[in-house]
Amino acid sequence: GAVVSQHPSWVICKSGTSVKIECRSLDFQATTMFWYRQFPKQSLMLMATSNEGSKATYEQGVEKDKFLINHASLTLSTLTVTSAHPEDSSFYICSAREPSGRAFNEQFFGPGTRLTVL
Amino acid sequence: QKEVEQNSGPLSVPEGAIASLNCTYSDRGSQSFFWYRQYSGKSPELIMFIYSNGDKEDGRFTAQLNKASQYVSLLIRDSQPSDSATYLCAVDPQGAQKLVFGQGTRLTINP
């Protein structure tokens, strides 16, 4: 089946530094990937839709200059949290849409990255 | 009104019983409906999807869709303690090219 990986699985950083999270589709090409954020005991919140070769589409209220998304290839999207602050601490999850999936918008999720900003 | 609504629970069900999870959505043009399971500290995993009115069965799971009433449900038969998780309903609004998730229902199966 469709497998999506994320790296790193967890990261601790100091306030003010930048953190890059990678999302890879391992056995399929993903023209579209999605980035979500999830705070404890809350649901998934879509941050942005990442399209290969074009600019990401950000959801309302998400700062595009703070959360930089690059989707340079059909198997890799990256999310960079710039100048991270403690309030950015969260569980970041990516997903990828597999073009030949059983349902058009079926998404396969990566295992997530837990970010802690001190 | 939220686009996708679920009862946040917690929902407690005895082992072996049927767990019933419900979800309503606001966009009548929605095409596909998904149920994901999420264990604590893990990312969601797809249980099943449905896009036609009626029932769809997969093992112990049955998804039910009623587009006229704009609700989708998930039944889990012979509930097991390992089914204890948060269940997320996701909807594909017409033309949105993305999924909208409900807030999730926390399910606990009591041995």
Model confidence over B94-108: pLDDT tens digits? Answer: 767 788 999 999 999
- Chain B residues with beta carbon closer than 8 angstroms to that of A44: 44, 88, 101
- Cα-to-chain-centroid distance, residue A87: 17
pLDDT in tens, A39-81: 988 889 999 999 888 889 999 999 999 999 998 888 999 999 9
Interface membership of A96 toward B (CB under 8 Å): no
Instruction: Evaluate whether B62 touches B77 at the Cβ level (below 8 Å).
Output: yes
For residue A94, the surrounding DSSP H or E stretch is strand A90-97
Of A43, A105, A110, the CB nearest to B92: A105
Distance of alpha carbon B77 from alpha carbon B97, whole angstroms: 32
pLDDT band for position A30 (50/70/90)? confident
Does the CB of B94 have a partner CB in chain A at under 8 Å? no
Contact B64, B75 (CB under 8 A): yes
Reduced to 3 states (helix: H, G, I; strand: E, B; else coil), residue A82 is coil
Contact with chain B for residue A107, Cβ under 8 A: yes
Chain B: give the shortest CA distance to residue A39, in Å: 11
- 3 state SS for A49-78: EEECCCCCEECCCCCCCCEEEEEEECCEEE
- Is pLDDT above 70 for A10? yes
Contacts of A106 in chain B (CB under 8 A): 32, 34, 46, 49
Q: What CA–CA distance (Å, rounded) separates A73 from B84?
A: 37
Q: What's the farthest any 2 CA atoms get from each other in chain A?
A: 42
B41 interaction partners in chain A (CB closer than 8 Å): 91
